[in-house]
Structure 1
Amino acid sequence: MHLPMEEGREKSSTQQDSEITAQDERIDPNATILSHSVLSLLVPKVEYVQGSVKEITKTQNVLAKSVEQENEKFRQIGYIHDLSNTKRAARLKSIREKQQLKQAQEEAERQAYQASLLAKPAKHLTNQN
C-alpha cells in the first residue's frame, strides 16, 4: 500500500534517473574518455600528495611532542637552578651563623678570662699584709 506522496516521490526519483541518463547520452564519448584519462593521471598524484601530507602531519606531531618534552626539561632546569640558589643561600647563611657563633664564644671566653683576672687578688696587694 503506497501513499500518494510516496508515489510522487518515486516518480520524481525516476524522473531524475531518466534525466541523468539523458544527460549521459548527450555527453560526447570522447570527452568521457578524456575525463577518465585526466582523472587517471591526477588521482594517483593527489593520493600521493595526500599520503605525503599525512606523513608530514605525523612528523609534525612527533616534533611537537619533542618540543613539549624539551620545554618541560628547561622548566625543570629552572626549578633545579632555583633550588640550587636556595641551597647556596642557606649554606652561606649557615657559614655566617657559625662564624657569628664562634665570635660570640671567643668574646665570652675573653670576658670570662678578664672576669677571672679581676676576681683574683693582686699578689703585690696580698703580700703587703
Structure 2
Amino acid sequence: MDVETVRGWLERLDYEVKDEGPKTLRVFPRRPGAEALPPYFIQCSEHWLMLSLLPVLSSRIQPSPELPRRLLLLNRDMRIAKFAQGSGGEVVLCAELPTESLDFPEFADATERLVKYFHHYHDYLASP
C-alpha cells in the first residue's frame, strides 16, 4: 500500500497528516473540539498497515497492578484493535490491516475505532 493513498484517506477523514519517515505517518485530529490523542502513527508496508496509539497512558500515571488483566478483558471484547504492553511497560493500542484488498470503508472503520477505543477505555485503564 502506498503512503499517498493512506494520506488521502486520512485527509478525507479530516485528519492532519505529517511524515515521520518514508513509510510512517503521524496523524492528528483536525476537527473542531476534537479531544487530544496520544501520538498516533500509521506505518505502511507492502502487505500491512500498522496503526498505533502510543503510549495510551501518560508516564505520570502509576498503573494499577490489575492493568494486565484489564487489557486482556478489554481485548476480548474489542474488534480490529488490541491493547498491548511494550517492553518498557507502556500501553499501546494498535491494529494491523492487510493491504491486499483494503478499501476506504475498512480503513476508516479501523482508524476511527482506535480513537473511539482510546477515549472509551482510557479512564478505566488509568484508574488505580
Q: Report the TM range for the smaller structure's normalisation.
A: under 0.3
Which structure has more strand as a fraction of its residues? 2
Instruction: Give the greater-gyration-radius structure (CA).
Output: 1
Structure with greater contact order relative to length (CA < 8 Å, sep ≥ 6): 2
TM-score normalised over the length of structure 2:
0.23
Which structure has more helix as a fraction of its residues? 1
